[in-house]
Each structure stands twice: as C-alpha cells, then as structure tokens.
Chains A and B, each alone.
Chain A
Amino acid sequence: MANMTRRRTVELPDHPDFLWVADQKPKKAYDVIIIGAGGHGLATAYYLAKNHGITNVAVIEKGWLAGGNMGRNTTIIRSNYLWDESAGIYDHSLKLWENLEEEVGYEMFFSQRGVMTLAHSVSDVRSKQRNFYANHVNAVDSVWLTPEEVKEIAPIVNISEDIRYPVMGATFQPRGGIAKHDWVAWGYAKAAADMGVDIIQNCEVTGFKIVDGKVQGVKTTQGDIAANKVGMVAAGHTSVLAGMAGFDVPLQSRPLQALVSELNEQVLDTVIMSGAVHVYVSQAHKGELVMGAGTDSYNSYAQRGGFHVIEHQLAAACELFPIFERAHLLRTWGGIVDIAPDASPIIGLTPVENLFINSGWGTGGFKATPGSGWVMAATIANGEPDALAKPYALDRFISGHLIDEHGAAGVAH
C-alpha cells in the first residue's frame, strides 16, 4: 500500500497553479462591482477590462465561482432564434465563441458539432420552417432536414412513422454545438484576474447603498464595498436583489433540471433538441449523455425539482433514441432560472442610477455567455445600453415591444 501511494505520487503531475486568487478579500472601493461569478458575470468583468480598459473591478459571489447554473448545464450553443433582436445578440455571441479559446488562451472544448431541432407535427413543421426562413433573412446559418437527412446525420434517431410523435423534419444549425461549461468560466476568470479583476467568493450581497436614487456600493457578508457602478448578473436571484434595490422585475424563478448518464461509447456527434416531446441531448467528450427538459412548473429557489419531470424527458428520449433504453442514469441536478414573460433576457439600466441589470436568460443562458458579457460591459462602461442590448431594456414591458422567443427557446417552458 505504501509503495503504491509513493508510486502514484511520482506519476501524478504537480497540482496546477490557481487560476485566480482563491481567497481574495474585497478592497474598500471599486470602479465597478459585478454581482455574480457565473459565466455572464465573469464574461462581463473580462470585457470591461479587455474592451473598455476598466480593471478596477470586483466580481462578488455568494457561493463559489461558477457554482450555480454555470457549473451544471447542458452547454448547448446556437443562435437560431426567431426575431431580429435575438439574431443580433445570439449570433454575436456565437461569433465570439468561435475565437474565444484563442482569445483568452484557455481550452474550452468548444465543438461546433451542429444543433438539430426536430419537428413532430404539421404545425411543428410550419413553425420550425418559419424559424428556418427567419434565420436565413438574418444570415444565421440554418438548414432544413428531411427525416432521412436527420437519420444520415444522427443514425440513432428513430424516424419510424409508428412512434407517438414521429420525426417529420428538423432545422439544423451547423455552427451550433457545445463547450465545457466549467472550463469556460475558468478561462474567463483567469483572463479577467490576469488583467487585475478581483474575484471575491463567499461574499453575499445583503443590500445596496443608494443615495438620491444613485447606487454608491453594496452591503455584503464581508462588509460594505463602495462602487461607482454596480451590475447585477445573478440569474435566479435577480428578483431578490432588485427587491433590495427597491424596484420590481418581471421575472419568475423556476427549477430547471438536467441529467447525465454513465459513460458510453460515442453514439451521438451532434446536439438534438425536441421541443414537442421535451428533451434535448448531446454526448460529452468523455461519453456521458447530457440531457435536459422543461422547467418544473412552480416558483422555487430550492435548486431541485420533481423526478416526474426527469421521467417524462427520459420517456421521450427512449422513444426517439431506442438505444438509450439501456443507458444508466448517473446524476440529476436542478438550477434556478429566471424567466421573463417573453422568454428573452432583460439587459440595461434600472430605475436606480448606475445600477445595471443582466438577467432573464431563463433556460438558455449558457450559449449567450460571451455576447451577454460583451453587451453588459459596454452598457456599464458607457452608461447607456449597447446597441445589441437596447431592445432588451426593462421598459419593453411598458412599451409592449416584447421579443417573444417561447417558440425558439428550445423546449416549451
């Protein structure tokens, strides 16, 4: 035993250096504080430093870095939404993904293996084709597939007409794909930290310091921290933060569950989504099948949901992919997502001066990580909405200019 231990110690490489200061304590004041060290918060800090030269920045996090939805999601990346505003921000994000690993100098296993969205009924085909044409108008790559073409790309799909919801066609975005979510967070964190951004974990916001309608800083479990500008990038907890700052946001927090199987041989080299039967699946590089479904129906901050939601998605998965019947479930998890009435994000100014919001990404925020950070950084730096973010302002719920993406949000939620 002693011998084995010694031998293993010799064979293992040295523990890697920390990518950022793990026990960073807050300074008394910053130019900008970002609340939330998830993907979007870290990306915001990175682009503040990189694009705008603002490096006196703290990202404060109540738990640990990327310990929320960024640490557990189905990692799907695509930009084939319906509306012009969505094409603007999501395709900008996809273009950033395409150079991200080189730019930040960190491996992220970004893999453009394509994303396929199946249609299972005549009305489903019509709405997916509408989406497909809309993508063409916006120069977002999109291909329409017949069931036979679906089978050619993904041989494990059951295209029999005898199943309850037969495959009648699909849209396919070849530039879509997946990335390794935690490595994305680490890459952004390392690159931001290298430029001077402080990442402060275990630091929960308990209130805001607001004087004459202008934010002056935050109160936290590690004391008060002053800031000229504050950005809230807190996903499921945005309503709680907005409540502390004294304004309402049209968000509801819901559990979203996902699961992985045990490791399997590679059987699926693309991403397949089906809104109608509520399942989406890809296969990670190591071999796990990664699957997600719709949200649980009720408001919650509990980071868990009902197992019947998992059963429902597995029933659909087994019908569509018969070989999955013999796969074993390894782990399920639930995160809390903030859903806006039109299934589109809320980005921009708030009723409190110098306090900015980036929220409402709901069930599909991962794909938008670079684009979201990019526009949030520009919005904070300039004090006015970035052009791509402007349609996503809070006041769209007053003007009625909603960006209804329920149909393109992957699965119905």
Chain B
Amino acid sequence: MLHIPCPYCGPRDETEFHYGSEAHVAYPENSSNLTDEEWAKFVFIRSNPKGWMAERWVHSAGCRRWFNVWRNTINHEFGPSYKPFTQQPKSPA
C-alpha cells in the first residue's frame, strides 16, 4: 500500500485517498475556437511517463482536500507534495 504524503495531514495510507491523474492540466484558452484535434488532446490525452510524474490525489477519508505530488511510476517512490496554486517543486529526477 502506498504511503501518500498529504501536504495538509502528513503521510497516510493509500486507502484514505482517491487518485486524480496528471496534475496541471489546464482548461484550454479560447475554447470556442478549438479544433476537434485540440479538444481530443485536452479531453483524452494525459501523459503516461515511465518515471517521475506530477499527479493529483484527494484525501477523501481525511481532510478532503486536493493536492499535487511527485511520484515515480517505476518504483512508487514519492517526491515532494504541494498544495494547488502554489509553485511546483522541481522534479526529483
């Protein structure tokens, strides 16, 4: 089981959390002018790196707040976690 570092509560068991996939996916600007290809990219394409990934979790059985964290998809090692709308720490890679 992952031990996930909630930036509000500290490390807690994975079963207290829900996953939110890739972090920092912004809603497209000028959305009324997007082509179908651009919409497809926003709606369906998410990065799927083998290595460090910035991702979102929600501490649903704890503080119920969303946050971001760096995690390595090769070995499940966690890097720094951080609150939304704060400066993203550099990738631990």
Contact = CB atoms under 8 A, between A and B. Distances in A.
A397 B36 CA distance: 9
Interface stretch (B25-33, B38-46, B81-89): B38-46
A250 B2 contact: no
Contact of B45 (A237, A250, A301): A250
Contact of B48 (A239, A307, A398): A239
A228 interface: no
A187 to B, nearest CB: 31
A297 interface: yes
Interface residues of B, number: 26
A257 interface: no
Contacts of A237: 50
A300 interface: yes
Contact of A250 (B44, B55, B71, B73): B44
A85 B4 CA distance: 40
A302 B74 contact: yes
A32 to B, nearest CB: 26
Contact of B73 (A248, A299, A397): A299
A51 to B, nearest CB: 32
A15 interface: no
B40 A302 contact: no
A73 interface: no
A255 to B, nearest CB: 10
A240 interface: yes
A397 B37 CA distance: 8
10 contacts: A249-B48, A250-B44, A299-B53, A302-B73, A302-B74, A306-B14, A307-B1, A341-B43, A341-B44, A398-B40
